[in-house]
């Protein structure tokens, strides 16, 4: 571990590309060393300076005396009956986060966290009940991908991640700068295609355009979860600041690459937002936005007052959307038995309700 020993040293992962260049210069090393460091950290996924075997022993020793490469600390890994895996990580300051590895037919998706806890307080979400702990730094976001990639690389099959989703703990747009930097690193340094990355937001309307301007054009998902303000206010406090119309107007304005669509997530909660009338309203709301809808039947956890609607209600809801020319998918909830499904992440924290 040796974190404390390292504290005075520079964590190379905490530096962006520019800062790596400056660091290399400050050590009197030629520019190309910077590229080599990035290659070894992000592509080769070196755990320590010692593993950068392209460098001479002498250079590794010199760099180790002033810098180090941080890693996440795995506290626990659980495997669900459906083979979903939940990784509980400890950060350098003892906060914790979770990442979920979800195998599904030809896909292997990693769901990562952008914050420890979450400040948004959505009523149906267990992470929301923890409250906000802190923002993750770019390298702590990317390190979830690095750590899990190392673990699966040793496996015979399903050993490469095909998709990354920012749908774990936290609200990514409330941690915009670090999330944007993390996206750049995933795409530029690790070679992951923008098309294989999805970021989900609870709908901080004021940040959507800014995100789109600065971040690579990854897929955007918006957690709409209701088709009128009265219902959305009850479920998501953020709606009182950015009501549905304001949120959808921001979505409409985006200059999206041809054929890209915004995914609207809709957590279906029994008796709250599951009526045929809600589906009809949703069809009207999404007119003119290149969109698809992911219906997520509510995932339960201990102490919640909410329930999942019956399958009939869920299928009927989907049919109304499809009849309205909206592609609607019902998301399978994987990893429920180990609290690894959407909205069930709490990373060992106590919840306040």
Interface contacts to ligand SF4, rule CB under 6 A: 118, 120-122, 125, 127-128, 170-171, 202, 223, 343
DSSP state for residue 350 in the 8-state scheme = P
Is residue 167 a contact residue for ligand SAH (CB under 6 A)? yes
Position among 125, 137, 146, 183 found at the interface with ligand SAH (CB under 6 A): 125
**342 belongs to the catalytic site:** yes
Give the strand order in the sheet containing 291-297.
73-79, 85-90, 96-104, 107-111, 163-166, 197-201, 219-223, 262-268, 291-297, 327-330
Among ligand SF4, ligand SAH, none, what does residue 167 contact (CB within 5–8 Å per kind)?
A: ligand SAH
Is residue 343 a contact residue for ligand SAH (CB under 6 A)? yes
**105 belongs to the catalytic site:** no
Is residue 225 a contact residue for ligand SAH (CB under 6 A)? yes
Is residue 274 a contact residue for ligand SAH (CB under 6 A)? no
Shortest spacing between CB 139 and ligand SF4, in angstroms: 21
Note whether 145 and 186 are within 8 A (CB). Answer: yes
Q: In which element (H, E) is residue 103 found? A: strand 96-104
Note whether 225 and 236 are within 8 A (CB). Answer: yes
Which residues are within 8 A (CB) of 264 and not within 5 positions of it... i.e. 6 or more apart?
A: 221, 222, 223, 224, 282, 286, 291, 292, 293, 294
For ligand SAH, the closer of residues 70 and 201 by Cβ is 201
Among ligand SF4, ligand SAH, none, what does residue 291 contact (CB within 5–8 Å per kind)?
A: none
Is residue 198 a contact residue for ligand SAH (CB under 6 A)? no
The DSSP string of 173-190 is GGGHHHHHHHHHIIIIIT
For ligand SF4, the closer of residues 122 and 269 by Cβ is 122
DSSP state for residue 39 in the 8-state scheme = I
For ligand SAH, the closer of residues 87 and 124 by Cβ is 124
Position among 55, 124, 264, 317 found at the interface with ligand SAH (CB under 6 A): 124
Of 195, 203, 251, the residue nearest 229 (C-alpha):
203
Site residues (vs ligand SAH, CB under 6 A):
124-125, 167, 171, 200-202, 223, 225, 265, 267, 296, 298-299, 342-343
Catalytic positions, written as ranges? 98, 342
């Amino acid at each position: 571990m040796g974190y404390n020993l390292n504290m005075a040293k520079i964590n190379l992962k905490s530096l962006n590309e520019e800062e790596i260049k400056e660091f290399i210069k400050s050590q009197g090393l030629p520019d190309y060393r910077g590229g080599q460091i990035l290659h070894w950290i992000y592509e080769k996924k070196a755990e320590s300076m010692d593993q950068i075997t392209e460098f001479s022993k002498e250079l590794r020793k010199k760099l180790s005396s002033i810098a180090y490469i941080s890693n996440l600390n795995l506290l626990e890994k659980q495997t669900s009956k459906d083979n979903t895996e939940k990784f509980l990580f400890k950060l350098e300051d003892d906060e914790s986060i979770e990442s979920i590895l979800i195998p599904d037919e030809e896909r292997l998706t990693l769901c990562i966290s952008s914050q420890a806890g979450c400040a948004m307080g959505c009523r149906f979400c267990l992470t929301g009940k923890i409250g906000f702990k802190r923002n993750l730094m770019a390298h702590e976001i990317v390190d979830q991908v690095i750590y899990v990639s190392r673990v699966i690389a040793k496996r015979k099959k399903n050993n490469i991640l095909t998709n990354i989703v920012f749908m774990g703990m936290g609200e990514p747009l409330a941690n915009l700068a670090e999330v944007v930097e993390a996206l750049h690193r995933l795409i530029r340094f690790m070679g992951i295609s923008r098309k294989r990355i999805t970021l989900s937001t609870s709908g901080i309307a004021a940040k959507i355009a800014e995100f789109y301007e600065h971040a690579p054009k990854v897929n955007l998902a918006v957690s709409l979860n209701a088709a009128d303000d009265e219902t959305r206010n009850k479920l998501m406090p953020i709606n009182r600041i950015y009501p549905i119309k304001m949120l959808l107007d921001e979505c409409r304005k985006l200059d999206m690459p041809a054929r890209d669509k915004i995914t609207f997530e809709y957590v279906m909660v029994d008796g709250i937002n599951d009526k045929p009338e809600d589906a009809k309203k949703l069809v009207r709301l999404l007119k003119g936005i290149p969109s698809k809808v992911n219906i997520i039947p509510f995932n339960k956890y201990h102490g919640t007052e909410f329930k999942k609607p019956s399958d009939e209600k869920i299928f009927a809801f989907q049919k109304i959307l499809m009849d309205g020319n909206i592609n609607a998918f019902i998301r399978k909830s994987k990893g429920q038995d180990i609290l690894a499904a959407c909205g069930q992440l709490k990373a060992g924290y106590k919840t306040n309700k």
